[in-house]
Amino acid sequence: MAASLLLLLDDIASVLDDVSLLTKVAAKKTAGVLGDDLALNAQQVSGLKADRELPVVWAVCKGSLVNKAILVPAALAIGAWLPWAVTPLLMVGGAFLCFEGVEKLAHRFLHSGHGEAEHDRSTMAAANPDVDPVELEKDKIKGAVRTDFILSAEIITIALGTVQGQDFITQLGVLVGIAIVMTVGVYGLVAGIVKLDDAGLHLSRSDRPSLRSLGRGILALAPWLMKALSVAGTAAMFLVGGGILVHGVPAVGHAVEAWSAGFGSVAGVLLPMLANAAVGIVAGAIVLAAVELAKKLFKKG
């Protein structure tokens, strides 16, 4: 009896080790979505009153958990009954990541002034006494949850590719772990980011000169932090999306590995990353061109 219990505990520990290791791998591969997720969700609560920012973030967080509660079983079903579809889904997800990255870079040329106008309308609506603040919050929450569904689908699809071929328990543990870690991590950071300026303002009014200086520094840093998140998220999109596309075609993946193997240790790490980024940019540009062409043809039709 004791020996059987020890064997059972050993099996459980082995499964947990596998889940932990694969969750770390999946978290690294989904990093490209994380930066974009942070920036987008932090922007979604812009224009709200300071005392309503955290309740809105919490509402979106709950919506994100519902999204993942739908997506995780769907991913497990695909992995169980349509395993051949995992790689195509990964390729589509990688291409979409690259498309998003290129679309961001081209946004100012394709939709000049759209982002600024949208932000101004949001701010004006929040300040307008005739606008129902409850309805405004509901609209922002619905929009953020819709955006989260797309980003969550990308995260779960990439995580599913990481555990392809593993047993069901391991797949379940990794996908649930990624869903929880990403949700708590993203919305915890979003809550911190949206309140960063409030913290800076509070410190800048302190009686202690050191705290006032710290507060002014935080206020100056907050806008740059959002820009840095956006830039890092875009770069990660190309690296992760391009990496998925490169490894999705074994011949290309092996060619990149063989090419980089002939260089030193540092170059051997950097060159595959640069190759992934280059493939990501080219693939994103092709998808963007196809999307814009389809839009023009649809309008003419």
Of the candidates 41, 4, 7, the one whose C-alpha atom is nearest the C-alpha of residue 182 is: 41
CA distances from 24 to 97, 115, 119, 287 (A): 20, 35, 36, 30
Distance of CA 93 to the CA centre of its chain: 12
Question: pLDDT tens across 83-116, in order?
Answer: 888 888 888 888 988 898 898 888 766 555 554 4
Which tokens belong to 205? 């009014």
Which tokens belong to 60? 């979106």
Q: At what angle do helices 31-44 and 86-110 cross, to 10 degrees?
A: 50
Return the pLDDT at 3.
Answer: 46
Q: Concatenated DSSP letters for 210-255? A: HHHHHHHHHHHHHHHHHHHHHHHHHHHHHHHHHHHHHHHSHHHHHH
Spans of the chain below 50 pLDDT: 1-16, 115-128
DSSP state for residue 167 in the 8-state scheme: -
**Alpha helix stretches (DSSP H) within 111-208:** 114-127, 133-162, 168-194, 196-204
Of the candidates 118, 146, 138, 152, the one whose C-alpha atom is nearest the C-alpha of residue 56 is: 138
Return the pLDDT at 191.
Answer: 82
C-alpha dihedral sign at 165, 167, 169, 173: negative
Return the pLDDT at 238.
Answer: 86
Return the pLDDT at 20.
Answer: 56
Which tokens belong to 109? 């040329």
Return the pLDDT at 7.
Answer: 46
End-to-end CA distance of the chain: 74
Q: At what angle do helices 133-162 and 31-44 cross, to 10 degrees?
A: 180
3-state secondary structure of 164: coil
Residues 6+ positions from 271 with CB-CB distance below 8 Å: 259, 260, 263
